[in-house]
Copies of this chain bind each other. A is one copy, B any other.
Amino acid sequence: MEAARSKPKLDMEKIVSLCKRRGFVFQSSEIYGGLASVWDYGPLGVEMKRNIRDAWWRANIRQRDDMVGIEAGILMHPQVWVASGHVATFADPLVDCKVCRQRFRADQIPGDRCPNCGGELTAARMFNLMFKTFMGPVEEDASVVYLRPETAQGMFVNFLNVLNSTRKKLPFGIGQVGRSFRNEITPGNFIFRTREFEQMEIEYFVKPGTDEPLHERWIEDRFNWYLDLGMKSDNLRLRPHSVDELAHYAKACTDIEYLFPMGWSELEGIANRADYDLQQHSKHSGKDLTYFDEESSTHFFPYVIEPAGGVDRMLLAFLVDAYDEEPDKEGIRVVLRLHPSLAPVKVAVLPLSRKDPLIAVAKDILGNLRKTWSVQYDDAQSIGKRYRRQDEIGTPLCVTVDFETLNDNAVTIRDRDTMGQARIAISDLVPALSQRLGVC
């Protein structure tokens, strides 16, 4: 089960510090001391998050004939969570220490004494992880609604609406990106496990009997998606669930795991959920959610393959994977070797001086490149320092405007990874950058 390289390669603290310093991720409400386990994305983080979402949407929705997207509400009818089983069973066993009052998940600690102070623990009680709130003007039981703990149910309850409006035939899937909320007892590891998080989930509906090969295909497709975005294969592995790990309704599940600083952890799960969800919603809503198969002239509940990943932990994995330190003559060069599709800034425009003729040319170039890409402009400090700043945030290419530019109408393109430089005519700049960046 262990891949060749099983030792975490860097401290989480280095990533956390880079994220804060350069504006990827900030602690939520930091000026008020922070809100436990919620994080905000800064100027670079939000661009990278958008890039991850877009890459996922492109590969899984837009470029496939058998997929459509939706965006459902975070608030849903409370019966949805009764039908799905979340009201009854989406709970963890909670214990309190009678001495230091700290709380733990009973299934995550050994013995019956507090791991913090050795005090006696209370008996475990089940604690439901759904956040609840009250809709309408009065707080009463009838108006309790939940913040969704997963986006998946939005796809199931819209199955008929999607079928009727798109006339899709099996196999087809519905995908969605959006925030979910779980009142975790012990969140942690930076943005890996948080109480508010963002999911990218797919519910892929198939004819029973065709589910096993299609499950395999999705595992392969999703694994390759990470590789296509430059993730190192040594840091990725598949982990099929053992039978006793599976939810009672699931036929099979395989996790894609990444070698995070804290060890191998789940990036995405790809489950074969059989027909549990549509059955449950049919029963609880009284609506017929079967599919009519024209070929066989029969009605049946489709089986469901569910590739479900978390955006925040993907972003963390891509950052960890891209992080590199290289000794060089000025000390250590920190470089994020992000795939161009994911890099928050694609190109930096760097005029060698703040004097007028250079600035005018540089601003002109900036305005032009910005039509296509996310571009940063930097004229502060030495060119070496500016390259370092761009390396540290993963900018694949720098365009340097120097005094020679005024004579030859050309600029220097500098490559993040090789640090190689090439002189390019300004008139050829867009195609030259396009070629180096690919589609992104």
Which residues of A are in contact with B by a Cβ distance under 8 Å? 20-23, 26, 28-36, 38-47, 49-50, 57, 62-63, 65, 68-77, 79-80, 94, 103, 127, 131-137, 145, 147, 154, 157-158, 160-162, 165-167, 174, 176, 179, 181, 183, 185, 195-196, 281, 284-285, 287, 289, 366, 370-371, 374, 377, 380, 439
Contacts and interface: CB of A to CB of B under 8 A. Distances in A.
B73 A40 contact: yes
A32 B285 contact: yes
Given A158-B42, A161-B23, A371-B439, A167 B380 contact: yes
A162 B127 contact: no
B71 A281 contact: no
Nearest to A130: B133
Given A36-B135, A137-B185, A183-B137, A28 B72 contact: yes
B370 A35 contact: no
Contacts of A185: 137
B285 A195 contact: no
24 contacts: A23-B165, A28-B72, A28-B75, A30-B157, A31-B157, A31-B281, A32-B79, A42-B161, A43-B68, A43-B69, A43-B70, A43-B162, A44-B165, A45-B70, A65-B377, A74-B196, A75-B181, A75-B196, A94-B137, A131-B134, A131-B135, A133-B147, A135-B183, A179-B179
Nearest to A39: B73
A39 B137 CA distance: 19
A185 B74 CA distance: 19
B135 A63 contact: no
B94 A70 contact: no
Contact of A41 (B41, B70, B80, B371): B70
A28 to B, nearest CB: 5
A22 B68 CA distance: 13
| Copies of this chain | 2
A69 B94 contact: no
Given A76-B28, A137-B183, A47 B70 contact: no
A71 B41 CA distance: 5
Contacts of A165: 20-23, 42-44
A165 B20 CA distance: 8
A371 B58 CA distance: 8
A69 B40 contact: no
- The listed residue with most B CB atoms (<10 A of its CB), out of A76, A160, A284, is A76
Given A70-B46, A71-B46, A71-B49, A160 B63 contact: no
A40 B70 CA distance: 8
Given A43-B68, A167-B380, A75 B161 contact: no
A77 B35 contact: yes
Given A133-B147, A147-B133, A183-B136, A154 B31 contact: no
A73 B196 contact: yes
A28 B183 contact: no
Contact of A132 (B30, B134, B157): B134
A434 to B, nearest CB: 13
Contacts of A40: 70-73, 154, 158, 161
A1 B270 CA distance: 57
Contacts of A131: 133-135
Contact of A166 (B23, B31, B36, B94): B23
Contact of A45 (B43, B57, B71): B71
B62 A28 contact: no
A46 B69 contact: yes
